[in-house]
Amino acid sequence: MFIKGVNLGNWLVLEKWMSPALFDGTTAEDEYYLPRQLSPEVYEARIKVHRSEYISERDFATIKRIGFNTVRIPVPYFIFGDRAPFIGCIGELDKAFAWAEKYGIQILIDLHTAPLSQNGFDNGGICGVCKWSQTPEEVEFVLNVLEKLAERYGQRKGLFGITPINEPITEQMWTIMNVPGRYPAVDKELAEGSAPNTLEFLREFYTNAYERIRRHVAEDKYVVFHDGFMLKAWKDFVTQEKFKNVMLDTHQYLMVAEAFGCEQTLEGYLKYIKEHYEADLAEVQAYVPVVCGEWCIFNSAAVGIDTKGGQTSLNGMDFTETEGMSAEEKKYIYQEIAKAQLAAWEKGSGYFYWNYKLLLDTANEPNWRGWDCWDVAKSVDEGWFPATV
């Protein structure tokens, strides 16, 4: 099956930029501090309302209508409700499986966060902290979560596979993203000792995760390893005979390509997509199935200003004076970039667009102009993204 997928980000794992109103009345920049700055009653009410309204059965019907056949669902390490003060969300994932199976959609469960974080990003649960891999008891906790998820859903018709951990950062990306600078830690003492994960650690963790997951899942289900932002570093690992139905997940964003020096023009983007995305996926697909688990059509050219690797007003960027391209120019660049990237993913086993939806008011808030293309449902409505993919 060629994966034509979309992420259900910001449903069970929160990202402030995708739903700023959830963080109203706090200075929290991530999910770790949100419940620590709200009363338990307010926190619980916000989370429960958000989860019930953000994704419902209707959304799965829409996802099917657009032409997607798979969803990638980011889930937190506290999904089973055993890490206070967070509220578990296994019930929501149960519902998602019923909805997915009704509409003939497959689910990739993606463990998106880890205690003390695997990357120091806001989407890793706590900004500026990256110490999970240095904490053996928390590594074991994550392995137990994965095994429980495998046991619960391993024989479900709707399960495509399980990703043991999302975006575990390695040294090059740690430096490129300047994690401590871009995501300042609130608690400097807690962040002390933060560092990128080593490939040696990831290989050991992935081996253990594979064994724990494979005990419970049907043979045709996949274990999907994120590449740690090093797509070509895994050949000897993933081709080991002991691995059955494994897949490599790579995340490719043009905003990251810009940080690597991609020219911020349509011609520059198309050249980069051809020379890097297409070529690299074809090379890796020759020895292991590879999926682009996150990508979108967002780019600085359409915003009208260098976003410095996709930074937002939450990072101190000011877009209020920026008009960007005309609606016609923007539509053309988005269409061409969508077409080129979709062609690139055909060199592999498929893709998951990030994201299905956002809760941003791009019409009334100038600082969010140009960010609506992260919302694939809106991008389809605007004609930026093909309705039948």
pLDDT in tens, 242-293: 999 999 999 999 999 998 999 999 999 999 999 999 999 999 999 999 999 9
Taking alpha carbons only, the member of 253, 343, 240 closest to residue 2 is 343
- Flag whether the pTM goes above 0.95: yes
pLDDT < 50 regions, the chain:
none
**Residue 127: partners with Cβ closer than 8 Å, 6 or more residues away:** 29, 30, 32, 120, 121, 183, 184, 185, 186
Identify the pLDDT of residue 61.
98
Domains, in order of start, for the chain: 3-381 (3.20.20.80)
Joined together, the tokens standing for residue 256 give 């990251």
CA 5 to chain centre: 12
**What is the pLDDT at residue 274?**
97
pLDDT number for residue 303: 86
User: Alpha-carbon distance 43 to 337, whole Å?
Assistant: 39
Report which of 328, 182, 191, 311 is spatially closest to residue 253, judged by C-alpha positions. 311
Q: What is the pLDDT of residue 361?
A: 85
Cα separation, 129 vs 317, in Å, equals 22
pLDDT of residue 360: 86
pLDDT confidence of residue 305: 80
